[in-house]
Amino acid sequence: MSPDRRDPSLLQALTPLLFLVLALACAVYLYADDASFGANQIGLMLATGVAALVGLRNHIPWQEIQDSLVHGVSLAVVPIFILLSVGALIGTWILSGTVPVLIVYGMELMHPAYFYPASCLVCAIVALSIGSSWTVAGTLGVALVGVAQGMDMSLPVTAGAIISGAYFGDKMSPISDTTIIAPASAGAELFSHIRHLTWTTFPSFAIALVLFTIVGLVQGSGGNPEFGNLAGQLREHYNLGWYLLIPLLVVFTLAMLRFPAYPTILLGALLGGVFAVLFQPELVVALADDPDIPRPMALLSGAWRALFEGYQSDTGNAVVDDLLTRGGMISMLNTVWLIVCALGFGAVMERTGLLERMVRSVLKKVKSTGSLIAATIGTAFGTNVVAADQYMALVLPGRLYQPEYRRRGLDPVNLSRALEDGGTITSPLVPWNTCGAYMAATLGVATLDYLPYAFFNLAGPVVALVMAYTGFRVLRLDTSGGKPSAGAPPPATEAAGPGTAR
DSSP assignment of 385-418 equals HHH--HHHHHHHHHHHHHHHHHHTTB-HHHHHHH
Q: What's the pLDDT at 32?
A: 75
Region 323-331: what's the mean pLDDT?
86
| Residue 36, phi-psi category: left (phi > 0), alpha (psi -120 to 50), beta (remainder) | alpha
Q: What's the pLDDT at 492?
A: 41
* Per-residue pLDDT at 281 exceeds 50: yes
Determine what percent of the chain is predicted with pLDDT higher than 90: 40
Q: What is the pTM of this model?
A: 0.79
CA distance 276 to 244: 9
The most confident of 7-16, 178-187, 204-213, 218-227, by mean pLDDT: 204-213
The CA-atom distances, in angstroms, between 398 and each of 92, 172, 302, 472, 495 are 40, 18, 48, 21, 21
Tens of pLDDT, residues 439-469: 998 898 999 999 999 999 999 999 999 999 9
- Half-sphere exposure (Cβ direction) of 398: Cα atoms closer than 13 Å: 28
Tens of pLDDT, residues 390-429: 887 888 788 888 888 988 899 999 999 999 999 999 999 9
Q: Taking Cα atoms as reference points, which of 223, 237, 179 lies closest to residue 419? A: 179
Helix/strand/coil percentages in the chain, nearest 5:
75, 0, 20
CA distance 334 to 37: 6
* Banded model confidence at residue 495, pLDDT cuts 50, 70, 90: very low
Q: What's the pLDDT at 213?
A: 94
Of 110-114, 227-231, 319-323, 361-365, the least confident: 227-231
Q: What's the pLDDT at 486?
A: 33
